[in-house]
């Protein structure tokens, strides 16, 4: 895991350095929530850079169980930031080339036969692939997600299932895969593992923390605004929501505080 995180950080640094050198626009393609946020953030940091987002469907977030008014509002707010969009066309081929002044560029061939020239390309894939191939196939669904009970223990489909837990994006569960849901799962898994240990060591009968179904909900950081959807309140957007949902650092401090990472650990006797 640390190696993958380090690699991702290096890739982000390389990307932003490349944006500083780019004379033409940058194109995230095949994009989901991450691609939308990345495009808006790049335009916010480099307002003179032409940023274009390419999506193969007619609406953004086409693979997510979200209402059309949220998808339309997201597109409108994205356009407010200055990001351009090409919708309903897929990138078929990306070819490195050289501009007239000798700088490196890329030529993208789209599914309608048209071509786009850009200084940088980012493939922000919306469909993730679970890293679960090391687990028994019996505990995985057809897409590789781990089948768990509401306690986040493995389902009784493999030996020693009661000693194995899974949490986060790797889990087969309802709702959209989000940071908040993953942290909630992690908290429940940790509490249940601790309860299991107390039972094994001291015979304390556990009270398991169990997940409820997650309804579709999401919050996107799009430039200076957040676009938010939940079933009770519907779709909304605004700078005030950006502050409450993401703070000043895209939610880093909120997650840090929630997980109590800045608190000194005091062992209980």
Q: Is residue 15 pLDDT above 90, yes or no?
A: no
- Highest mean pLDDT among 7-16, 17-26, 36-45, 116-125 belongs to 36-45
Distances (CA, A) of 232 to 69, 183, 216, 221, 260: 14, 22, 11, 20, 29
Residue closest to 89 by CA, chosen among 117, 53, 124:
53
Decide if pLDDT at 14 tops 80.
no
Residue 257 has pLDDT above 90, yes or no: no
Please tell me the predicted confidence (pLDDT) of residue 168. 94
pLDDT at 254 over 50: yes
Select from 3.30.1370.100, 2.60.40.10, 3.50.50.60, 3.40.50.9100 the CATH code of 2-127: 3.50.50.60
112-160 residue pLDDT tens: 999 999 888 888 766 678 889 999 999 999 999 999 999 999 999 999 9
Contacts of 43 (CB under 8 A, 6+ apart): 49, 51, 81, 82, 83, 223
For residue 185, pLDDT beyond 90? yes
Query: Average pLDDT, whole number, for the chain?
Result: 87
Domains of the chain, residue spans = 2-127, 137-216
Work out the average pLDDT over 17-39. Answer: 70
pLDDT band at 29 (very low <50, low <70, confident <90, very high): low
């Amino acid at each position: 895991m640390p190696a993958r995180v380090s690699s991702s950080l290096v890739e982000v640094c390389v990307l932003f350095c490349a944006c500083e050198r780019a004379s033409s626009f940058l194109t995230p393609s095949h994009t989901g929530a991450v691609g939308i946020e990345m495009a808006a953030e790049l335009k916010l940091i480099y307002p003179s850079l032409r940023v274009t987002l390419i999506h193969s469907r007619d609406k953004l977030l086409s693979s997510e169980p979200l209402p059309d008014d949220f998808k339309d509002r997201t597109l409108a707010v994205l356009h407010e930031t200055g990001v351009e969009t090409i919708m309903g066309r897929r990138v078929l081929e990306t070819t490195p080339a050289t501009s007239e002044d000798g700088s490196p560029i890329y030529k993208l061939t789209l599914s309608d036969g048209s071509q786009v020239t850009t200084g940088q390309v980012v493939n922000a894939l919306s469909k993730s692939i679970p890293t679960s191939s090391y687990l028994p196939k019996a505990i995985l669904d057809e897409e590789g997600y781990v089948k768990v009970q509401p306690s986040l223990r493995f389902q009784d489909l493999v030996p020693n299932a009661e000693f194995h837990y899974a949490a986060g994006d790797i889990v087969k569960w309802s709702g959209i895969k989000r940071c908040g849901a993953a942290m909630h799962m992690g908290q429940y898994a940790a509490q249940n593992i601790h309860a299991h240990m107390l039972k094994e060591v001291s015979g304390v009968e556990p009270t398991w923390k169990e997940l409820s179904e997650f309804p579709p909900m999401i919050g996107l950081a799009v430039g200076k605004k957040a676009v938010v959807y939940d079933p009770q309140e519907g779709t909304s957007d605004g700078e005030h929501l950006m502050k409450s949902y993401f703070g000043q650092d895209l939610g880093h401090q909120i997650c840090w505080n929630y997980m109590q990472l800045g608190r000194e650990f005091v062992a209980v006797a």
